A = this chain, B = another copy of it.
Amino acid sequence: MGNFKGHALPGSFFLIAGLWWTVKYSLWYATRRNKSAGAGRIATRALQHRLEIIEGAVILSFSVIGILGEQLATGGPKFHLYDSSTQHWDKLMNWQHTTMYLFFALAGVTSLTVHSTDGAPLALDRLLLGLAFFNEGFLFLYHLHGRDMLDVHVHMLLLYAVFGGAIICFLEVFHRGNILLELLRAALCVLQGSWFWQIAFVLYPPSEVQWDLSDHNNMMFITMCYSWHLAFALLTVAVAHTIVLCAVRSKLRRMPPMEMGLLKPREREGDSEDEVF
């Protein structure tokens, strides 16, 4: 889908995913820190469990929608891969996007399996998410042959966020529950989302003025622009994180103190799932 919507749509998905991760991990973090103050009552383990399963299901359904959209939309290949009349591959672009969604679908299925059964090791969800990001970057890397200089450049810049996200997922396989890695991943996801929107505005500007795709000054501006997006993503995550922390704290203050007899079992219930690993 080489048009405005084809970049704005995944951009919105990644923006929402990044914000959602920020809220989720900030909530877990606040729960762990204020455990003695009874924060376990806000985010119990059962709630965590349910949220993880919902997240997996949402990722899976969005990926399936993406696959169907790429295949069945007007101009899509409708699951035909090879046009034997012209002896050419048919709409390889759409197939490549389908493949990207496929790996995110795999990550969603894995997340569902890991959190709804107890047979699989917990870190598997991060491994598959890392592979999904890696696969996205891998396909983008060999996707750009023969395009305009600026077109290539904006997609190359995207790879920093994509491969950065993949590396952080792989690190999380070994350092699960590290709040810094989780928030950095969320920030890179926000960056990826806002950059998709930027690409849409650069390559398919809704206004009359077109960008000169081979001007060196535009290259330099776009590079700097990427830094600004990164700064914006960091600020967004920081603000969302602070709001969640403050909300949890103020809610805890308004809660009546628990009776001591109830404290022990509830606290244990509030243990983060990640600590079980």
Contact = CB atoms under 8 A, between A and B. Distances in A.
B217 A121 contact: no
A217 B93 CA distance: 10
Contacts of A173: 180
A214 interface: no
Contacts of A142: 219-220, 223
A58 interface: no
A260 to B, nearest CB: 27
Given A89-B221, A92-B220, A227 B179 contact: no
A43 interface: no
A201 to B, nearest CB: 15
A52 B182 CA distance: 25
A16 interface: no
B217 A92 contact: yes
Nearest to A230: B135
Contact of A220 (B96, B128, B135): B96
A175 interface: yes
B234 A131 contact: yes
A103 B227 CA distance: 9
Interface in A220-252: 220-221, 223-224, 227-228, 230-231, 234, 242, 245
Q: Which of A96, A223, A245 is packed against the most chain B CB atoms within 10 Å?
A: A223
Given A96-B224, A224-B92, A227-B103, A121 B180 contact: yes
Contacts of A119: 242, 245
Given A180-B121, A224-B96, A106 B231 contact: yes
A192 to B, nearest CB: 16
Contacts of A123: 180
Q: DSSP majority for the A interface?
A: helix
A145 B218 CA distance: 13
A62 interface: no
Nearest to A29: B121
A184 interface: yes
A167 to B, nearest CB: 10
Given A89-B220, A119-B245, A139-B227, 19 more contacts: A89-B218, A89-B221, A92-B217, A92-B220, A92-B224, A102-B231, A103-B231, A106-B231, A119-B242, A121-B180, A123-B180, A127-B184, A128-B234, A131-B230, A138-B223, A142-B219, A143-B223, A145-B219, A146-B216
9 contacts: A89-B217, A96-B220, A96-B224, A102-B231, A106-B231, A119-B242, A119-B245, A135-B227, A142-B223
